[in-house]
């Protein structure tokens, strides 16, 4: 083989590689045959195949209809989701707002062709152009579910619902006459700083906090002070939903921020658990199914995104997780959710929730705010007690 032949082969190989790279991340123009599998990074309880409860299964039917085998990697925090997507090897992620923009700006997810999602027109109008998945008019995902971070409490201790987040932030005696020390939890994640900021936004107007994700140095320091005081009474932070459930069953915890998912499962186990959104309001999550820039199974991924918006799937998931569907057709006629389920899960609270988002240094109107990397380092310091 002469030099010219070697060069010709080398050039051809390079062109093939270049063409392969170019195709990855390109927006699809049609959905073809499935590749046989799809891998999803998801929150606990988001992708169910009847293994936890036989009544909740929206995977088996999808696999039978499409031939796409679903594998799920459960992530406990948004930071873990970002790390997994950075590593690669996954097709989809159910990202919250404090992860989605990082994934978009980090070029880890690709633009979605909504014309290939027949049920896109069923998406709640409040979510279609939400800023946590829409950038420069381009959609980088399909809305999935949303809800609030509720205050979960033991109804044997609180005969009446607590009215303020103060019960988990400040040391005090609870209605049963005992201290809340070592009986309350906080969330193990940098975004939890926003919960402290929201508490201050209502209770200390002098700080001038207008948005719990847009904090200047003074406001940020005040939120950290609240969390450092909380650290004295919190023996354990939660991030795994199932571990928190066991904590409330067996470890004597009586109040904490939580998700409706844990509340539902504890109530199903006949535990004396209820939840409330206190007077200060709540942070929350509006999750988006996003497609990895280098997805190896984009056709199966598009099939899943369409399936995820099915009214039956949306309603069953909302009943299971205690969330609100992205497809409001799910709010009627679903046996598991019932016709009152969407309202019970907070359908009318949309404008009262401060949805998770990634804090940035440029927070508009000439203001400089504390960026997310400082939220990460400072929260680590808080939890470690430094």
Q: Which residue has the higher pLDDT, 16 or 92?
A: 92
Find out whether 83 and 94 touch, Cβ atoms under 8 Å: no
pLDDT of residue 20: 34
pLDDT in tens, 11-44: 333 333 333 333 556 889 999 999 999 999 999 9
Cβ neighbour number for residue 18 with a 10 Å cutoff: 10
H/E stretch holding 102 reads helix 97-105
Rounded to two decimals, the pTM is 0.86
CATH superfamily of 150-258+357-384: Periplasmic binding protein-like II (3.40.190.10)
Q: What is the DSSP letter of 112?
A: -
Within a 10 A sphere around the Cβ of 168, how many other Cβ atoms? 26
Provide the pLDDT for residue 365: 86
Decide if 31-146+285-348 and 150-258+357-384 have a common fold.
yes
Please compute the mean of the pLDDT values over residues 315-326 and round it to a whole number: 96
Beta bridge partners of 237: 186
What the block records as the tokens of 47 is 């992708």
Contact indicator for 262, 18 with CB cutoff of 8 Å: no
Its sign, for the CA torsion 290, 294, 297, 303, is: positive
Query: What band does 51 get if pLDDT is binned at 50, 70 and 90?
Result: very high
At 231 the pLDDT is 97
Count of C-beta atoms within a 10 Å radius of residue 178: 11
Break the chain into its structural domains and give their ranges: 31-146+285-348, 150-258+357-384
Rounded to whole angstroms, the Cα distance separating 106 from 101 reads 8
User: Can you tell me the distance from the alpha carbon of 72 to that of 308, in angstroms, rounded to the nearest whole number?
Assistant: 14
For 90, the token pair is 């996954």
Pairwise CA distance, residues 113 & 138, whole Å: 9
Residues 170-227 pLDDT 10s: 999 999 999 999 999 999 999 999 999 999 999 999 999 999 999 999 999 999 999 9
Measured between its terminal Cα atoms, the distance across the chain in Å is 67
Interval 93-122 mean pLDDT: 96
Candidates 3.40.190.10, 2.40.30.10, 3.40.50.300, 3.90.330.10; CATH matching 31-146+285-348:
3.40.190.10
């Amino acid at each position: 083989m002469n030099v010219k032949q070697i060069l010709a082969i080398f050039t051809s190989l390079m062109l093939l590689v270049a063409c392969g790279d170019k195709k990855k991340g390109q927006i699809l123009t049609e959905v073809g045959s499935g590749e046989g599998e799809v891998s999803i990074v998801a929150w606990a309880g988001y992708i169910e195949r009847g293994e936890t409860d036989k009544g909740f299964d929206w995977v088996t039917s999808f696999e039978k209809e499409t031939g796409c085998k679903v594998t799920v990697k459960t992530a406990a925090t948004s930071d873990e989701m970002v790390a997994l997507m950075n590593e690669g090897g996954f097709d989809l992620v159910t990202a919250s707002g404090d992860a989605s923009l990082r994934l978009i700006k980090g070029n880890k997810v690709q633009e979605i062709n909504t014309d290939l999602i027949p049920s896109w027109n069923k998406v709640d109008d409040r979510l279609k152009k939400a800023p946590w998945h829409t950038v420069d008019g381009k959609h980088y995902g399909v809305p999935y579910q949303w809800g609030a971070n509720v205050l979960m409490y033991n109804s044997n201790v609180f005969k009446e619902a607590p009215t303020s987040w103060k019960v988990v932030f400040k040391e005090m005696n609870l209605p049963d006459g005992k201290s809340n020390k070592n009986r309350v939890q906080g969330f193990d994640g940098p975004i939890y700083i926003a919960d402290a900021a929201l508490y201050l936004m209502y209770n200390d107007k002098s700080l001038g906090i207008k948005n719990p994700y847009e904090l200047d140095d003074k406001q940020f320091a005040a939120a950290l002070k609240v969390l450092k005081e909380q650290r004295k009474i919190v023996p354990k932070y939660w991030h795994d939903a199932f571990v928190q459930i066991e904590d409330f069953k067996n470890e004597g915890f009586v109040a904490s921020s939580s998700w409706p998912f844990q509340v539902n499962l504890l109530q199903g186990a006949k535990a004396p658990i209820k939840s409330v959104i206190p007077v200060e309001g709540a942070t929350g999550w509006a999750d988006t199914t996003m497609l990895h820039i280098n997805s190896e199974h984009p056709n199966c991924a598009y099939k899943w995104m369409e399936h995820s918006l099915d009214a039956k799937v949306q309603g069953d998931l909302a009943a299971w997780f205690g969330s609100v569907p992205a497809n409001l057709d799910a709010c009627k006629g679903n046996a598991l959710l019932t016709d009152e389920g969407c309202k019970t899960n907070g359908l009318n609270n949309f404008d009262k929730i401060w949805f998770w988002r990634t804090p940035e240094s440029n927070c508009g109107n000439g203001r400089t705010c504390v960026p997310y990397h400082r939220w990460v380092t400072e929260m680590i310091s808080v939890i470690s007690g430094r």
